[in-house]
Structure formats: structure tokens, C-alpha cells
Amino acid sequence: MPDIDAQKFALGVTNYLVLLFSLSFHESAHAWMALKLGDDTAARLGRITLNPAAHIDLFGTVLMPLLQIFGGFPVIGWAKPTPYDAGRFRRDVSLRRGHISVAGVGPISNLLLALAFAIVFAVILRVEVPEGMRDGLYSLMSVGIAMNVTLAVFNMLPVPPLDGSHILSWSLPRSMGEKFDHFSENYGTIVLWILFLSGLLGWLIGPIQRFAVLFIFDLIR
């Protein structure tokens, strides 16, 4: 029994460390894209960094993941939103393009991280690894792949305040987008909590997440 508890604890710590790194990478990507488009708001606030301290949200990065972490796989978490000022984008960048680019790079960054973990995993599977390190590395790479696929799919949901809601808002004609934004401001958090508490969130993202993760593992075998 103590061995099982120790293994669960080690896996929980691994999950949480990967989550912190993945969320930091995600938010840094938002800040980096805004800077590339001409707005240095987030850059001046030190948000282009992998240091989790710059991105931590007390509830989304600390309390909620830790509540999940030792009871199962911590599939969901979020960091402090990265601020940007669309009015500072370069003149050749339209508001539509700017908003969609800054929002969309977040999920893309997690997919790139999943790919990076997969490439490292593929290499590890094909080289000699000391027996004492093998299980730990396998676990770390597996968590990295699954975690980042989940974060990418989760953030693409068109539910405020996730990245997918910003992409949807600015993909719509502005009159419709503004109505959607008004709904988001008033009810977005409520909708997200309903998805969490009802189990609908897992029903929505679970099939896509499982398909993507299995596809990646099939590629690297």
C-alpha cells in the first residue's frame, strides 16, 4: 500500500509540474504573438517567460489543479490571462487578424509542446535508457503529450473566457461578435462552471482528446 501511495504522489507531482510548464508556455505564446503584432503590453509586464510565477492564477493554477491532482489526472487548469492592447497593433494588422492571432496561438503552442514531448518520447523508445530512469521518463513524456493535447482542445471551446471564445467572436460579423461578447461578460463563467460540474466538459472534449493522444502514440511507436 505505501508503494502505491508513493507512486500516486510521484505521478501527481509530475502532472502538476508539467501543467505549470505548459500553462506558462501557453501564456508566453500569447504575449509573444502580441509583441510580434506591435503591442508590447504583456512583454513589459514580464509575461514572455516560462517562470510560472509570472502567470499563476490562484484558483486556476493552484487550487483547482491541486484538488484534482491526487484524485486523478489533472486535465484542466488555467493561468492568469495575458493582457494586450489591440489599439497598439501595427497599422497593417487588422483588429480581426490581431485578436484571432493572439488567441489562436495559445492552443497552437500546446499542440507544439505535445509534438515536442512526442519527439523526445520517440527518441527515448529507440535508445538505451538506464532501467532506473526508464519508467520516470516514460511517465513524464506521456503526461506531457496528454496534458498539452487536453489543454489545446479545452482552450478551443467557444466558451468564455477560453481562447476559442475570442476566436469565435472575431470570426463573426462585428454586430454578432459584440452580442456574443456581451453574453460572455455576463454568463461566460457560469457556463464554464456548468460544464465542469455537470460532467459535460469531459463529454465534449474527451473523444477528441483521446483520438488525438492515441494518434500521436501510434505515430511514435
Which among 4, 25, 2, 197 is positioned nearest to 117, based on CA atoms? 25
C-alpha of 141 from chain center? 16
Question: What cell numbers appear for 40 in the block?
Answer: 508590447
Alpha carbon distance 148, 62 (integer Å): 18
Which among 153, 14, 149, 38 is positioned nearest to 91, based on CA atoms? 38
Answer for the pair 216, 118: CB distance below 8 angstroms, yes or no.
Answer: yes
Alpha carbon distance 97, 180 (integer Å): 18
Question: Given 27, 128, 131, 185, which residue is catalytic?
Answer: 27
Q: HSE on the CB side for 207, CA within 13 Å?
A: 3
Question: What cell numbers appear for 122 in the block?
Answer: 520517440
Sole residue written with cell 492568469: 80
Answer for the pair 149, 213: CB distance below 8 angstroms, yes or no.
Answer: yes
- What is the SS3 assignment for 161? coil
Q: Give the relative orientation of helices 174-198 and 200-220 as an angle to the nearest 10 degrees.
A: 90
**Catalytic residue check, 128:** no
Active site residues: 27
